[in-house]
Structure 1
Amino acid sequence: MNTDPIADYLTRVRNAIKANHRVVEIPASNLKKEITKVLFDKGYIANYKFEDTTVQGIIKIALKYHPVTKVPAIRTLTRVSKPGLRKYSGVDSMPRVLNGLGIAVVSTSKGVMTDKEARNLNIGGEVLCYVH
């Protein structure tokens, strides 16, 4: 039994990047699908596909690397809000990752989005992770 599915998601992506894999498969959930969409929209992953072959479904993520230097687009993935200690942030205290070069994935009442989008919509929420 997995107590923190988001941490498991981030760890699978992190391990696949360290092993230079092109594709990583992750058990699906609605929150993981939304995080995947945010990572794709911001250019951190090359592509993704949702497969409903099993009851739960699978997310296939194609990781993105620089074509010449083979440096991954995702350098660090850090889990912020954990099941034991949730981290919520208002719009005035929304974190900035690497002074705006990275993103913070935030779960808000309007859905999962980046810190910048949440600031523009003037809403706060639970800070799930930092990506840069």
Structure 2
Amino acid sequence: MVTDPIGDLLIRLKNGSQRRHETVTVPASKLKRAILEILKKEGYVETVEDATVEGHPALKVQLRYVGDGQPMITGLERVSKPGRRVYVGSKDIAKVRNGIGMSILSTSKGIMTDQESRRNKLGGEVLCSVW
């Protein structure tokens, strides 16, 4: 049993990109799909597809590499954890790596990036940072 499904997703993506795997399979959920769709939209992963593993729904993620096989995802960090939730207002959203990376937030209007959240003047729970 996984106590932190988002942390599990991030670690699978990080390990897969470090080992230069082409695809990574993760157990499916609506929240994970929303996070992966944002990563796809921002160019960190190629595709997100539905799959089935041993009769359970899963998501098959094709990782993206640039140049001579360098992974697009160089770092991931889980910010808000099950033991310590981190909430911020729209004016308090910090930039990741001076704007090179991005944060993913859970707001009242859904899952969105830090830029979208600032533009819509929405705060929320900071789920993770990607660079």
Normalising by the smaller structure, the TM-score range is over 0.9
- Structure 1 portions without partners, runs of 5+: none
Cross-structure match for 1:102: 101
Q: Distance in 2 between matches of 1:9 and 1:52?
A: 16
Q: Distance in 2 between matches of 1:53 and 1:16?
A: 18
**TM-score by structure 2 length?**
0.95
User: Displacement of 1:20 after TM fit?
Assistant: 0.7
CA RMSD of aligned residues (A): 1.3
User: Displacement of 1:51 after TM fit?
Assistant: 2.9
1:125 aligned onto 2:124:
yes
Q: Distance in 1 between matches of 2:57 and 2:49?
A: 11
Count of aligned positions:
131
1:84 aligned onto 2:83:
yes
Q: Distance in 1 between matches of 2:92 and 2:24?
A: 34
Report the residue type matching 2:99 in the other structure. Answer: G
Q: Distance in 2 between matches of 1:8 and 1:125?
A: 21
Q: Distance in 1 between matches of 2:38 and 2:52?
A: 20
Q: Distance in 1 between matches of 2:24 and 2:105?
A: 23
Q: Secondary structure at the match of 2:90?
A: coil
Q: Secondary structure at the match of 2:70?
A: coil
Within 5 Å, which residues of 2 pair with 1:14-53? 14-51=14-51
Residue 29 of structure 1 contacts residue 56 of structure 1 at CA under 8 Å; is this kept in 2? no
Q: Distance in 2 between matches of 1:57 and 1:127?
A: 26
Q: Secondary structure at the match of 1:104?
A: strand
Query: 1:118/1:64 Cα in 2 relative to 1: closer, same or farther (>3 Å)?
Result: same
Q: Secondary structure at the match of 2:12?
A: helix
Q: Distance in 1 between matches of 2:65 and 2:44?
A: 9
Q: Among all aligned residue pairs of Structure 1 and Structure 2, give the percentage whose two residues are the same amino acid.
A: 43
